[in-house]
Amino acid sequence: MLLNRIRNALTAGLVLVSAAASAETVTVAALGDSLTQGYGLPEADGFVPQLEAWLSAQGANVTVINAGVSGDTTQGGLSRVAWTLTSDVDAIIVALGGNDLLRGIDPDLSRTNLDGILQVATQAQVATMLVGMQAPGNYGPEYKAAFDGMYPELAATYGTVFYKSFFAAFEGEGDVPAELGRFIQADGIHPSALGVSRIVEDMGPSVLELIGAIR
């Protein structure tokens, strides 16, 4: 009888500890450029608030930090990733490269910068997700192959969660961004609030995978 009571008490204690652990809020930093920052949108309609709301609706107890800087390149991300990863950050989403592409930066340099960011994240022992980007065909086949290929290759090297393109949700809707109508703002580059919602719904399961990878 006494042994059963002890067992029941231990079981109840483990359940309470498990529930407390599952209730702990995890913090995810979204390191990116204007796409992450929410350029041209009211704050509540940006990528980070919409992503946090979507994750919460799925039952995740998570805070997403907006570490997006409009106009930032992979080099800029590398320069600030160390101080972005404060002790309370559990995971990081790396979504950079669009501005490298717009500036025609050598993909080898972009790759080196992304590699450096992933090294810092690895050293900080945070779960990491890499978001890809694709170059248009007019950059030439060699540039496109080098640029497009660096993301999955780096993700494989570091064992990160990988989401193939920030604009993957729009595949089949026409070329990004010129023919996407209501999903893209008038500048032809940044997603509208509706576009962000679609991006978040498509990317969200990968972010849940990232949260599940937190040590």
Residues tagged active-site: 34, 187, 190
User: Torsions phi, psi of 72, nearest 5?
Assistant: -70, 145
- Dist CA 169 CA 204 (whole Å): 11
- Dist CA 48 CA 57 (whole Å): 14
- DSSP three-state, residue 133: coil
Q: CB neighbours of 188 closer than 8 A, spacing ≥ 6? A: 177, 178
Residue 31, strand partner residues:
67, 94
- Dist CA 107 CA 142 (whole Å): 10
Residue type, 121: A
- Dist CA 169 CA 180 (whole Å): 11
- Dist CA 131 CA 74 (whole Å): 12
Q: Name the E strands within the chain.
A: 26-32, 62-68, 91-95, 127-131, 161-163
